[in-house]
Every structure is written in C-alpha cells, then in structure tokens.
C-alpha cells in the first residue's frame, strides 16, 4: 500500500489552523493503530441505526482485522454491507479509521489474522476460534483515517486518504 496523503480536515468553528504546519506524520497514526489494546467499532444497521461496540483489533499496516460471532449485530451489519469506523482507545490522541468492511472466509488469511491476534494479545486461540461457520473475521480497508492530539488541538488535526 502506498503511503496515504495527509491533509488538514475541514473543521470550521474549531479554530483549526488551515496551514499544513503541524500535520501529524503517518507513522504516528500507524503506531497507535498497531498498539491500541481496545478499539471502538461503529457499524450501521440495515434500518440506518448506529451500532457501537468495543472490540479487539489487529492493524497490519494495510488493513484492520476484527473478529466477532456471526450472530452479533456488528457481524450482521457488515454482512449487510455496512461500512465501518473504528477508533482507538485514547480520547486525547484518537485515531479514527473509516472504510468498507467485509467478512473473510479464506483459511490462510484467517490464520494470519489469528497468529497476529495471538501475538498482540498474548492469547493462544486455535483456528477453531475463528471458524467462519460460527465466527466472523472482518477485514476493514481504510479509505480515510483522521487523528489529532488534544494538546495540539488547533494544529494537529490530520486526515489521510488512501488510494485503492
């Protein structure tokens, strides 16, 4: 994946500096996506209602992986075509990734996700934990990522856009 393009998001009324000075480097957001322990996953129901849940996730540097029971609201929303937003756990230095989500059933991709999840969370789940017959392995491809630092609120807001 090519490095995303950084720009200043349009935030009228917040006193945000329009100049590009202070834009956060991509490595700053990438590190937080990799190291956050908990994330907030937002989906939309077919009726248009928002659904927000805490989840564990794994950022590979290109995609974000989440798992869930196939019966969960979030998995059903993704199966119905919901795009998602995922936020890291730190409200003072948030990173919010948005993009299309898809259920993945490929055994090799699920195994790589499982290995990364076990390493990150110091768990020892077996492949049956992510059995696509009962569990959803969700891959999110970023279209945009937004981040800021609360202590540098007027100069740090940064949006990255990804090319497919």
Q: Which two tokens stand for residue 128?
A: 């049956």
Is position 145 within any domain?
yes
Residue 95, domain member (yes or no) = yes
Phi/psi at 83 (nearest 5 deg)? -75, 165
Higher pLDDT, 66 or 20: 66
Q: Does the model's pTM come out above 0.85?
A: yes
CB 99 within 8 A of CB 144: yes
Point out the least confidently predicted range of 11-25, 44-58, 75-89: 11-25
Q: Is the pLDDT of residue 53 over 90?
A: yes
- The CATH number of the domain where 91 resides is what? 2.30.110.10
Whether residue 159 lies inside any domain: the answer is no
Is the predicted pLDDT of residue 106 greater than 90, yes or no? Answer: yes
Query: What pLDDT sits at residue 140?
Result: 98
Q: Within a domain: residue 53?
A: yes
- Residue 102 within any structural domain of the chain: yes
Is 161 among the domain residues? no
Residue 156 lies in a domain: no
C-alpha neighbours within 13 Å on the C-beta side of residue 115: 7
- pLDDT at residue 26, rounded to an integer: 96
Structural domains counted in the chain: 1
Q: Does 48 score more than 70 pLDDT? A: yes
List, for residues 31-40, the tens digit of each pLDDT value. Answer: 999 999 999 9
Mean pLDDT of 43-58: 98
Going by pLDDT thresholds of 50, 70 and 90, the confidence category of residue 19 is: confident
Tokens of 155: 């100069």
Q: Is the pLDDT of residue 1 over 70?
A: no
Domain extent at residue 77: 5-149
């Amino acid at each position: 994946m090519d490095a995303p393009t950084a720009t200043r998001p349009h935030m009228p009324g917040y006193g945000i500096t329009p100049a590009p000075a202070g834009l956060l480097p991509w490595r700053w957001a990438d590190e937080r996506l990799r190291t956050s322990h908990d994330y907030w996953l937002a989906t939309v129901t077919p009726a248009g209602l928002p659904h927000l849940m805490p989840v564990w996730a794994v950022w590979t540097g290109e995609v974000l992986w989440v798992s869930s029971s196939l019966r969960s609201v979030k998995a059903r929303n993704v199966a119905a075509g919901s795009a998602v937003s995922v936020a890291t756990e730190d409200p003072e230095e948030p990173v919010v990734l948005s993009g299309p989500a898809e259920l993945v059933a490929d055994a090799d991709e699920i195994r790589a996700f499982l290995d990364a999840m076990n390493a990150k969370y110091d768990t020892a789940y077996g492949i049956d934990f992510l059995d696509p017959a009962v569990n959803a392995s969700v891959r999110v491809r970023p279209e945009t990522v937004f981040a800021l630092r609360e202590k540098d609120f007027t100069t740090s807001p940064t949006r990255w856009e990804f090319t497919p």
